[in-house]
Amino acid sequence: MPPTSPAPDPAQNAADGPFPKAELHLHIEGTLEPELAFALAERNGVTLPYATEDELRRAYSFSDLQSFLNLYYALMAVLRTEDDFADLTHAYLARAQAQGVRHAEIFFDPQAHTARGVPVGTVIEGLTRALDTAEERYGITTRLIMCFLRDESAESALATFEAARPYLDRITAVGLDSAEVGHPPSKFAEVYALAREAGLKCVAHAGEEGPPSYVWEALDVLGVDRVDHGVRCLEDEKLVARLVADQVPLTVCPLSNVRLRVIGELADHPLPAMLEAGLLVTVNSDDPAYFGGYADDNFTAVRDALNLDEETLRTLARNSFRASFLDEPTREAYLKEVEAHGRG
Ligand code: ADE
Ligand code: ZN
């Protein structure tokens, strides 16, 4: 099944289109647009608790992270077969291409599928079938990041890691997501140690709704290479100093932060303060089907709300490749594209 709707026009950041950029915080399940959700529901004989796409869209009003997660997990009922995961991924890649994304490091939530009886192999085979075509078809290099649901047990994370062992050659990193408060990173020390032993990179959501202490734990207990969100680090001066000194990347998601009420309005977003502090900040889309925008929509929204100039956008684009898990020659090639962009 091809993507069910045309990719939206990206806003233009410069004469030659959107900045080339890496997307480093993107939940593939969070790219499930209403059109595709209904198409897959029909294909799989699943009944959604919404009569129309418009009715579903009207449910996209969230009071916090949990209120979003409730809908996010419910809609996953339509994802059942390898084809479903491949179609979802193709639809994302087509949209990402139109937004200037040249490299994407993509999260998936195996436990949200295995809990419904979908084997982890079905998920990974479906995702990688599409990702294997990404460079040729969309001009996008990709990596896959397997996330553990932090509101499930540490034992469940360990069992998930063992079930995924046969597929680890397709996976670059492990991550940690879902309901943050009450589920500190230290709960997952054992599975992260196994992941590191297996040669995987490590990332974790921390400091989205949770306190700065969760960011400390992600760094010192899990040994993460990157922190997802991390906006609440600003409440702790020593933490900011540590993140700056080690140039630990933060994958910030501005439109998500507004939709999940992590911050009030985009105009109040601490992104400029984070850049000013010397943090290695990147801008990402998180769950774009739910939060109103893909990668370049986030760039354009912060540009407009925070009056960012072209050179600040260039810094954000540069940071996205610096913070990626790319090999050095490919990273350097992308960085050259960023420097050349809009300069004739
Ligand atoms: N899963 C999908 N999106 C998420 C987010 N923003 N925070 C935590 N878990 C998530
Ligand atoms: Zn996220």
DSSP state, residue 29: G
Domain count, the chain: 1
Region 56-74: mean pLDDT is 96
Determine the Cα–Cα distance for residues 65 and 283; give it in Å rounded to an integer. Answer: 19
Closest residue (by CA) to atom 6 of ligand 1?
Answer: 286
Region 72-85: mean pLDDT is 98
Ligand 1 pocket test, candidate residues 23, 24, 25, 27, most atoms within 8 A of CB: 27
Residues, Cβ < 5 Å to ion ligand 2: 286
Q: How confident is the model at residue 344 (pLDDT cuts 50, 70, 90)?
A: confident
- What is the residue-wise DSSP string for 253-318? -HHHHHHTTSSS-GGG-SHHHHHHTT-EEEE--BSHHHHT--HHHHHHHHHHHHT--HHHHHHHHH
1: in domain: no
Ligand 1 pocket test, candidate residues 287, 290, 298, most atoms within 8 A of CB: 287
Lowest mean pLDDT among 8-12, 88-92, 125-129, 312-316: 8-12
Count of beta carbons in the 10 Å neighbourhood of residue 9: 9
16: in domain: no
Q: How far is the CA of 159 from the centre of ligand 2 (A)?
A: 22
pLDDT digit string, tens, across residues 296-336: 999 999 999 999 999 999 999 999 999 999 999 999 999 99
Q: Which ligand does the CA of 255 lie closest to?
A: 1
12: in domain: no
Q: Does 183 appear as a known binding residue?
A: no
What CATH number has the domain bearing residue 257?
Answer: 3.20.20.140
Q: How far is the CA of 205 from the centre of ligand 2 (A)?
A: 7
Name the helix (H) or strand (E) containing 26. strand 21-27
311 flagged as catalytic? no
Determine the Cα–Cα distance for residues 1 and 216; give it in Å rounded to an integer. Answer: 44
State how far the alpha carbon of 324 is from the alpha carbons of 108, 149, 201, 330, in Å: 17, 22, 11, 11
29: in domain: yes
The predicted structure's pLDDT at residue 4: 45
28: in domain: yes
27: in domain: yes
Q: Does 103 appear as a known binding residue?
A: no
CB-neighbour burial class of residue 49 (10 A; exposed 0-12, middle 13-18, buried 19+) = exposed
Using the predicted structure, report yes or no on whether residue 7 has a pLDDT greater than 60: no
Using the predicted structure, report yes or no on whether residue 264 has a pLDDT greater than 90: yes
- pLDDT-above-90 percentage for the chain: 95
DSSP state, residue 233: G
Q: Does 205 appear as a known binding residue?
A: yes
- Is residue 202 within 8 A of residue 192, CB to CB? The reply is yes
Tell me which of 208, 310, 332, 339 is the catalytic residue.
208
Q: Calculate helix-pair angle for 154-164, 120-131, nearest 10 degrees.
A: 60
Does this model's pTM top 0.85? My answer is yes
| Structural domain span for residue 180 | 21-339
